[in-house]
Amino acid sequence: MTFLDTSDLKTEEISLRLDHTAEADPVRGWVPAYYFDILDRTGQKLGNCDLRVGHTEGLYYGGNIGYAVDEPYRGRHYAAKACKLLFELARRHGMDYLIITCQPTNLPSRRTCEILGGKLLEIAELPADNDMRVQDGHTHECIFRFDL
């Protein structure tokens, strides 16, 4: 896969600054990924987000997009705004849908998925060998689908 120019991933309120990319790792079942800082108009870092390009069984549970907004900046929908920019990048890669997941108890993340118009496919029990279960002790994930 060729990584694309991401310098235009911005709105009047936020921009995504590419931190780094990661090539696919077929042995581990990982797809290529972009990693960004979320910045406000002044260049202040608000959090981070990433886009994993492709679909695998692992990504069904882990999602194509991850995001985190730093504590002082929460409650302003920066995660949803960043996801909208990542949706555009995913479209450029020919993706027609994305999966975003979160723990059932993570109400702010669930709300972000709802604001973005995601369809809750299920609250899935993670397979016994899933990294999130083995390493983090998570047992279930809400699986949201976003048609692009």
**In the predicted structure, residue 45 carries a pLDDT above the cut 90:** yes
**pLDDT tens sequence across 93-126:** 999 999 999 999 999 999 999 999 999 999 999 9
72: three-class secondary structure by DSSP = helix
Q: What percent of the chain has pLDDT over 70?
A: 100
- Helix or strand holding residue 52 (H, E): strand 45-52
* Residue 29: band (very low, low, confident or very high) from pLDDT cuts 50, 70, 90: confident
- Describe the crossing of helices 78-92 and 107-115 by its angle, rounded to 10 degrees: 50
Fold for domain 14-147? Aminopeptidase (3.40.630)
- Up-side HSE of residue 24: CA atoms within 13 Å toward CB? 12
d(CA 43, CA 52): 24
Q: What percent of the chain has pLDDT over 90?
A: 93
Cβ pair 123, 143 in contact under 8 A:
yes
